[in-house]
Structure 1
Amino acid sequence: MAHRLALAGPAAGMAAMVTAYFLLPLDRLGPRRPVLSWILLGLALALVAGLLLRQVLCVLLGRRDTRPGLVIPLLMCLSVLVFASAYQALAQRPGELDGIRTRLDALYFTMVTLATIGYGDITPHGQAARLVTVLQILYTLVFLTAAATALSRHLSHAVRHHADPDRNRPNQHHRARDFRRVSGRDDVGAPVPGRCLRFPARQCRGVRGTGLAAPHAVPQHGPGPRRPPRASARGRAAATGRSRAERATRPPPAER
């Protein structure tokens, strides 16, 4: 049920945006207000690009406080509709775009340019129309491609997590085992014989992924301190000579 709702959200959002594209009075833009039209086009594309980059970074960093599966499809659909509105506004000027008569024609030409098919039935002849076409191609290569890659990565990770939800979750047995290795005590609190082999005493400040706070020093229940290093042959000979000299000069014990 949750997956159906996750798919219904982007579908409903895209349907609402397409409906608004066909119903909004976009005919007031174009040749009548060229400066306002270019400003709105630049602001809309910059806003969509910034939001897309934010979602791509969230996917790359693995942040879970965002919903790229919902936001990225809506932003991609919005960018397509922005370019379709620009083509519809440019088609009102004679000699700019041949073949665009309705808003559906503008949306069709946007999708054809996005897919790099190029049927040739609609061609940009004016300089402004060619500029917007080049801008759409670059926008697709940079932003929409990165967004589609991030979306596919997010969906693949979600599918793997759904197939194996306990894959990245630490097991309770592993948590108890790591606690015994670090603290030197079992679950009851009794000392566990043996040394902390996996986690040295200088690095035992916690176990990653277990949520356990280990002590700064690990109690060693194994053998005692190490023996001092053995002296060299010359040192042993000197010590033997000194002991013999001491015995020779030592006075004899008093007789009873």
Structure 2
Amino acid sequence: MSAALRPLATATGLVLAYYLLPLNRRFEGSAAVGLVLGLAGVTALFMWQIRSILRSSRPRLRAVESLAATVPLFLLLFAATYYLTEQARPGSFTEPLTRTGALYFALTVFSTVGFGDITPHTDAARIMTMVQMAGDILLLGVAAHVVVGAVQSALGRAPAGRG
């Protein structure tokens, strides 16, 4: 597969998995545990990806591939959590959330657009949304800084002209 197509294929595969995975179980109290474990998994994946950027012969491409996996996975984790929360406790949001509605809400929070058409109604839903907001800031700020630093470090070790 072409190196340029891998990031697109990764993101597409993650979105397909989100829609195809059986998310029909009631999550009840374990939604928070699932979210924490998922965030730990995303963090571990991100750390592994930083190491692979540092070791890569093409760190810029590896950085794009890393972000193409980390950002969608982060957003889909929250979308799944919102969806399962609404299934377990209808009325957690201003409208019932389908998978697409939950993904829309996660992307709206991530982009800080905040149309206001879907808002969290319960304290649990508000807490999850606040955790996503804080995670968004970390992902956009800290993660981007770390990825750029890893690329610069890898490029500094190598002969000019690669990327």
TM range (shorter): 0.7 to 0.9
Q: TM-score, normalised by structure 2?
A: 0.79
Q: State yes or no: 1:120 paired with 2:112.
A: no
Q: Give the structure with higher Rg (CA).
A: 1
Gaps of 5+ in 1: 167-256
Contact 2:90 2:96 in 1 (8 A): no
TM superposition shift of 1:90: 1.4
TM superposition shift of 1:26: 0.7
RCO (CA 8 Å, sep 6+): is it higher in 1 or 2? 2
Contact 1:53 1:143 in 2 (8 A): no
Equivalent position amino acid for 2:18 in 1 = Y
Gaps of 5+ in 2: none
Equivalent position amino acid for 2:103 in 1 = L
Question: Which residue is equivalent to 2:93?
Answer: 97
Contact 2:10 2:68 in 1 (8 A): no
TM superposition shift of 1:54: 4.5
The structure that is helix-richer by fraction is: 2
Equivalent position amino acid for 1:80 in 2 = L
Q: Deviations over 1:151-184 (max 9, x none)?
A: 45639x87xx9xx628xxxxxxxxxxxxxxxxxx
Question: Which residue is equivalent to 2:64?
Answer: 69
Equivalent position amino acid for 1:20 in 2 = A
Contact 2:110 2:136 in 1 (8 A): yes
Among 42, 62, 75, which residue is 1:80 paired with? 75
TM superposition shift of 1:120: 0.6
Contact 1:49 1:143 in 2 (8 A): no
Q: TM-score, normalised by structure 1?
A: 0.52
Q: Tell me which stretches of 4 or more aligned residues in structure 1 moved more than 6 Å.
A: none
TM superposition shift of 1:16: 1.1
CA RMSD, Structure 1 to Structure 2 (Å): 2.9
Structural mapping, 1:1-256, within 5 Å: 5-31=2-28, 34-35=29-30, 37-56=31-50, 62-64=54-56, 67-92=62-87, 93-151=89-147, 154=151, 165=161
